[in-house]
Amino acid sequence: MSTAVRWPERPDAVQVAGLVIDSIVDGPGIRVAIFCQGCPHHCPGCHNPESWAFAGGTEMTVDALEAAVMGNPLCRGVTFSGGEPFSQAAAFAALGRRLKAKGYEVAAYTGYTFEGLLAAGTAAQKALLETLDVLVDGPFIQARRNLDLRFRGSDNQRILDVPRSLAAGRALWYDGERWTGTR
Ligand code: SF4
């Protein structure tokens, strides 16, 4: 598994491609979605190829991102998306730890698989996994694209309950209607 990271990776700041403070399409409920800059996967058919280059975007500190989340009083969940959040794992792990301690549901998308991250992830990537409630994993595969899927682009991608998966040592699907139901 490639464990490409932003270079030099900063533990206190994320290179951000975009920020949506009232998203309703990046997970259930009203969420703050943080789209990071840089992705090593280059999936054919990617909806966001302008996020691939690691050189672009705007740097935002973990402090500033935390403040942006807390500035939306309706938000109870946060989604790290991309780009590839696991390419900036140290800063996202720091942000995730802070937000989880405040009671936010923390979710992330990744082009890696849960098994790949467990087997070959860096220490920072494993630390990020440990801060997550939900992980939507796997690359976008154009031949398996399905517009009926909720919060996923292709049917190889899985919506995983990360605490249960880490405890079991294997990928376990999120077991609730909020992420996997039809409404
Ligand atoms: S992992 Fe996501 S952002 Fe990266 S190339 Fe694949 S679909 Fe695009």
Q: What's the 152 CA to ligand 1 centre distance in angstroms?
A: 12
pLDDT above 60 for 28? yes
Q: What is the pLDDT of residues 75-106, one digit of tens each?
A: 999 999 999 999 999 999 999 999 999 999 99
pLDDT above 90 for 2? no
> Does residue 74 lie within any of the structural domains?
yes
pLDDT of residue 83: 94
> Does residue 32 lie within any of the structural domains?
yes
Q: In sequence order, which ranges of the chain are alpha helices (DSSP H)?
A: 62-70, 89-101, 114-120, 123-131, 162-168, 177-180
Interior/surface letters 171-183, b for 16+ CB within 10 angstroms, e for the rest: bbebeeebbbeee
* C-beta separation of 145 from 45 below 8 A: yes
> Does residue 5 lie within any of the structural domains?
no
Q: Whose CA is nearest to atom 7 of ligand 1?
A: 46
> Does residue 19 lie within any of the structural domains?
yes
pLDDT of residue 164: 97
Q: What's the 40 CA to ligand 1 centre distance in angstroms?
A: 8
Q: What's the 141 CA to ligand 1 centre distance in angstroms?
A: 10
CATH code of 50's domain: 3.20.20.70
Domain total of the chain: 1
Q: What's the 118 CA to ligand 1 centre distance in angstroms?
A: 20
Work out the pLDDT band at 171, boundaries 50, 70, 90. very high
Q: What is the torsion angle, in degrees rounded to the nearest 10, for the CA atoms of residue 178, residue 112, residue 95 and residue 170?
A: 60
| Residue to substitute in 16, 34, 43 for testing ligand 1 pocket (most ligand atoms within 8 angstroms of CB) | 43
Full domain range(s) for residue 141: 13-180
Structure tokens at 97: 């730890």
pLDDT above 60 for 182? no
Query: Residue 111: CB within 6 Å of ligand 1?
Result: yes
> Does residue 1 lie within any of the structural domains?
no
pLDDT of residue 50: 94
Q: Average pLDDT of the chain?
A: 93
pLDDT above 90 for 175? no
Q: What is the spatial distance between Cα 36 and Cα 130, in angstroms, rounded to a whole number?
A: 19
Query: Residue 46: CB within 6 Å of ligand 1?
Result: yes
Beta bridge partners of 13: 61
pLDDT above 60 for 153? yes
